[in-house]
Amino acid sequence: MTAENLEERLIIPFALDQQYCHADLPFIYRPWGTRTLKLKITSQIDLPGLWVRPGRVSPEEMALGIYKAYADDSQAFHLTWGGGHEIGPCVKSKDVLGAFESCAPMKASETSYMYFNLTHAGSELPASATVTLRAFEYLEKNGKPTEQEQAKISIKIQPPVGLPPDNEIQRVIPGEQDNKWIVSRGIYLPVYDSRWWPSTQVDYELSERPPLILRISDGKLLIDWHEVENTIAVIEDYTNPSVLLLAETIAFEVFAFDEWSIALRVWFFWTDKYHGGEFFFGRHEVPDAERFDLIIRRKDGRVLLAGTDLHWREVWARVLPGRILRATLGMPRETAIQLAKDKWSEAWNAIWAKPSSKSINGEETEPLNNPVDPYIRRLAEREATVTVKAGGTEAHIPTLHNVEQRRPPVMTSSDVRRG
């Protein structure tokens, strides 16, 4: 996807040198789904290290180590963020030891991007709501933490135009048994929406109901097609204790990807520092979110491609023919990055370590790349319509297994903090 195409996606400008502003366009939420609020941060003045957080949080939840927020006027919308920043993500971050982040000052005329997950929950479909985001400096005065506000922005939240009746929209719902989910009856699926490059609208297509069955068994999330035991993908939990023990940390979405395939997105949210008051997650960042996107062929349920995220980059891979996709959940970031350096060194050097040819404000940058458009879409069509021989070499992507990456620089996005 070119820079011009990327700019057509939904990006909300947030000028930190203006004390208060309204977003020009509403943000369209996806009923029973999670969409990304993508902010383009600018300033015409030098600023210290700043954080951003939604204005409405629960002090009781924060005191319990639960890090999430809500729309100003509706409990139907939850906002979460990642990076392990309890008070909110940084306006500008810098990498520490290659795996962690710290907040950095922002110079005049610099630009950065930040992201929040906006999740709709419950049966109510609000006609509108408002989310206010605050940018602030976090200080300690007289031994007490203080938030000194720099700027804030209000964003209007609206449902999709032409939303089908709710009973005609297919979505993943709990099954009759515990720890089991199925796709509801209906005739519409939402059109696939990128995590890091969200569309301006939420659209729906007529679609046959995919026979997906999702279930937790023996500490694993199993994804079946048509019937139990016909497993097409497995997600194994790396966290201890297992994040799969808390159902509210898991969310599923199913999309129409193209005429040959659907997409299943599996979300895992870490918002509770103490895992429900009993445990501490140790070295895993809290708050944080992980997701896996699976491109699944409609006619037989074969998983063609899989995508996930590694240190602010979206990574895609082709599932080896005749193999079942296996994914690893909850691997600490420093472990995943070290594995990538050790086992994926050629691709790592091509993508992460190679100096860029351009520089902005003294910082190295790189061409913007969203691998889904057009490369992954073209590859998905080919995989779904052409008989592909088995073979290939496993890519050793830390969290995806039984996959290959023939063109790592094309199948891996640019750093999403840059746009």
- What is the rounded distance in angstroms from the CA atom of residue 280 to the CA atom of residue 300? 41
Supply the range of the domain harboring residue 385. Answer: 166-418
Structural domain count of the chain: 2
Based on the domain organization, do 263 and 291 belong to the same domain? Answer: yes
For residue range 338-396, list pLDDT tens digits in order: 666 665 556 656 665 554 444 444 455 678 999 999 999 999 999 999 876 555 444 54
Beta bridge partners of 268: 250, 290
CA–CA separation, 287 and 275 (whole Å):
11
Q: What is the pLDDT of residue 398?
A: 65
- Domain end position, chosen among 135, 158, 181: 158
Domain shared by 309 and 402, yes or no: yes
Rounded-to-10 torsion of CA 362, 366, 367, 369: -140
Give CA separation, 351 vs 84, 338, 346, 398, in Å: 24, 15, 9, 15
Are residues 120 and 210 located together in one domain of the fold?
A: no
Q: Are residues 121 and 72 in the same domain?
A: yes
The average confidence (pLDDT) of the chain is: 86
Which CATH number is 149's domain given?
2.60.40
Q: Coil, helix or strand for 167?
A: helix
Using the 3D structure, point to which of 131, 158, 185 is the last residue of a domain.
Answer: 158
pLDDT digits (tens, 9 = 90+) for 143-187: 888 999 999 999 999 999 999 999 999 999 999 998 999 999 999
pTM of the model: 0.91
Give phi and psi for 366, each to the nearest 5: -155, 160
Taking the alpha carbons of 129, 28, 51, 16 in that order, is the dihedral positive or negative?
negative
What single DSSP character describes residue 109?
T
Residues 327 and 358 in one domain: yes
Q: What is the mean pLDDT of each run of 10 residues along the chain (419 residues)?
A: 53 95 94 97 96 96 92 97 90 71 90 96 96 95 90 98 97 94 98 97 98 93 96 86 69 97 94 64 71 97 96 92 90 63 60 48 71 95 80 60 88 91
Query: Same domain for 120 and 175?
Result: no
Non-local (6+) Cβ contacts of 283 within 8 A are 332, 334
Do 319 and 392 lie in a common domain? yes
